[in-house]
Amino acid sequence: MAHVSYIKPHWPYIVPEPYASMYGPDDVMPVNRSEAEREDAHPVFAAFMNRRVSQNFSRDEVREKVIPAYMGLIRQVDDQMGRLFAHLQTRGIADDTMIIFTSDHGDYLGDHWMGEKDLFTHTAYYL
């Protein structure tokens, strides 16, 4: 058994090349939120929406800067997983190996007027 843990994508979003240049604002999916979510919001939701990180991610210029970095970090993990799969193949053990890939959370990145991993509703970004 091998437990392989990747810290990224995680704050701080420090992205090495070539991943830092792979994505830009044009690759950012439209935000998933509406004004109706803010109207008469449950006090718990309202508190999370009013946090500084959530307010920052409500700004398009923040999303256009951070999300491409986040996407680059995801691509870096994808490439590292590819190296692991190639190693298993080279060793001749890929067909006898069970791989379980999990995550502890996703980040809102501006969706639903939230910033980070606040509650149980998450939007996935697919590359």
10 or 43, greater pLDDT: 43
Residue 55 confidence class, pLDDT cut points 50, 70, 90: very high
40: phi > 0 → left, psi -120 to 50 → alpha, else beta; which? left
Q: Identify the pLDDT of residue 116.
A: 85
Q: Is residue 67 part of a domain?
A: yes
Q: Identify the pLDDT of residue 101.
A: 86
Q: Is residue 85 part of a domain?
A: yes
Q: Is residue 72 part of a domain?
A: yes
Q: Is residue 39 part of a domain?
A: yes
Burial of 68 (0-12, 13-18, 19+ CB in 10 A): buried
Q: Is residue 6 part of a domain?
A: no
Burial of 30 (0-12, 13-18, 19+ CB in 10 A): exposed
Residue 19 confidence class, pLDDT cut points 50, 70, 90: very high
Q: Is residue 88 part of a domain?
A: yes
The structure's pTM equals 0.85
Domain count, the chain: 1
Q: Is residue 121 part of a domain?
A: no
Q: Is residue 32 part of a domain?
A: yes
pLDDT at 109 over 70: yes
Lowest mean pLDDT among 8-17, 68-77, 111-120: 111-120
User: Could you list the residue range(s) of the whole structural domain that residue 97 is in?
Assistant: 19-113
Per-residue pLDDT averaged across 4-24, rounded?
92
pLDDT at 126 over 70: no
pLDDT at 123 over 80: no
59 or 106, greater pLDDT: 59
